Amino acid sequence: MAALLEARGACAGYAEIQVLAQVDVAIPAGSITAIVGSNGAGKSTLMRALAGLLRLSAGAIRFDGADITHHPAHVRVDDGIALVPEGRLVFPELTVADTLRIGAFLPRARRGWQDRAESMYRLFPRLRARRDTNAGRLSGGEQQMLALARGLMSMPRVLLLDEPSLGLAPAMADEVFGVLRDIRDQGVTIGIVEQNVYAALAIADQAYVMEDGRVVSHGPSKQLIDDPAIRTAYLGL
Ligand SMILES: Nc1ncnc2c1ncn2[C@@H]1O[C@H](COP(=O)(O)OP(=O)(O)OP(=O)(O)O)[C@@H](O)[C@H]1O
Ligand SMILES: [Mg+2]
């Protein structure tokens, strides 16, 4: 499978701190690709670099065969890259319905936004029931679903998710993971960072393991699940 979104030799960090050290990650079109690793490994930093929220000090970001290293974040949204950041960030005073509507603010996403909102309600029936409720009153799981749905309203070609299951009860997390498969099957490529390594490997087609700003392992999820080093370090097995 050809890579839809990739980082090549990406180096990036904050002020004088270098975090990403020559990271190569390729997210193939139509895949779910997981990025896992311990706290502080640089997973969120990589997501920000892919979404254009953080500039590279060296290396490149490529999307659909083009070099987008110098595209700022808003241009990358227009390119078709949507990031649902860690900690879901929904506007508490906006209703569910309004949140979905503003998710479709891009010119190319405006047309047909109502149909798309309808398909979000089919994907997340809980949101339909709460469409006139302010986002700030939703449960954590519902807010996560809303953040995901808002990301999808921009009609992305690749959806980047940073810790979508964080703070969710297991049943709610399972619901979110189930929906990710449906989204992938509808043709949206997914890059996902997860603390829950087992769940991430269970839904992903392939995964990268990061340590200390570097990729230390990469392969099909099934292979990583069976890897003794991964099992000991990340799966507690
Ligand atoms: N805004 C920031 N300013 C300075 N340093 C930061 C900033 N954000 C992250 N860092 C540092 O960069 C390193 C990588 O952080 P990052 O958030 O990418 O890790 P992570 O793999 O997402 O970790 P976690 O699993 O805890 O979310 C850490 O050492 C962190 O302290
Ligand atoms: Mg993080």
Express each pLDDT in 91-103 by its tens digit: 999 999 999 999 9
- pLDDT reported for residue 60: 98
Pick the more confident residue, 113 or 11.
11
Cβ contacts of 126 within 8 Å, gap of 6 or more? 141, 142, 145
Q: For residue 178, give its domain range.
A: 3-89+156-234
Which one of the ligands is nearest to 16 CA?
A: 1
DSSP state of 134: B
CA of 38 to the centre of ligand 1 (A): 11
Residue 189 banded pLDDT, cuts 50, 70, 90: very high
Higher pLDDT, 129 or 175: 129
The answer to whether residue 137 is domain-embedded is no
Q: Is residue 212 part of a domain?
A: yes
Ligand 1 contact, 40 CB (< 6 A)? yes
Q: Answer whether residue 40 is part of any domain.
A: yes
Q: Does the pTM exceed 0.85?
A: yes
Q: Whose CA is nearest to atom 11 of ligand 1?
A: 40
In a domain, 15, yes or no: yes
* Closest C-alpha to ligand 1, atom 4: 14
Q: Is residue 160 part of a domain?
A: yes
Which residue has the CA at smallest separation from atom 28 of ligand 1?
A: 40
Q: Does a structural domain hold residue 123?
A: no
Number of domains in the chain: 1
Is the pLDDT at 41 greater than 80? The verdict is yes
Query: Does the CB atom of residue 87 touch ligand 1 within 6 A?
Result: no
**Rounded distance, CA 70 to CA 60, Å?**
9
CATH number for 229: 3.40.50.300
Which ligand 1 atom lies nearest to the CA of residue 37? 21
Mean pLDDT of the chain: 92
CA angle 54-180-170, nearest 5°? 100
The CB density around residue 21, as the number of other CB atoms within 10 Å, is: 17
User: 67 alpha carbon to ligand 2 midpoint, in Å?
Assistant: 25
Question: Which amino acid residue places its CA nearest to atom 13 of ligand 1?
Answer: 40
Q: For residues 64 and 166, what is the distance between their CA atoms, to the nearest angstrom?
A: 30
Q: Are strands 66-67 and 58-63 parallel, antiparallel or unpaired?
A: antiparallel
Q: Is residue 168 part of a domain?
A: yes
- Å from CA of 20 to ligand 1 middle: 10
pLDDT tens for residues 190-237?
Answer: 999 998 898 999 999 999 999 999 999 999 999 999 998 888 888 776
Indicate whether 138 belongs to any domain.
Answer: no
In the DSSP assignment, the letter for residue 84 is E
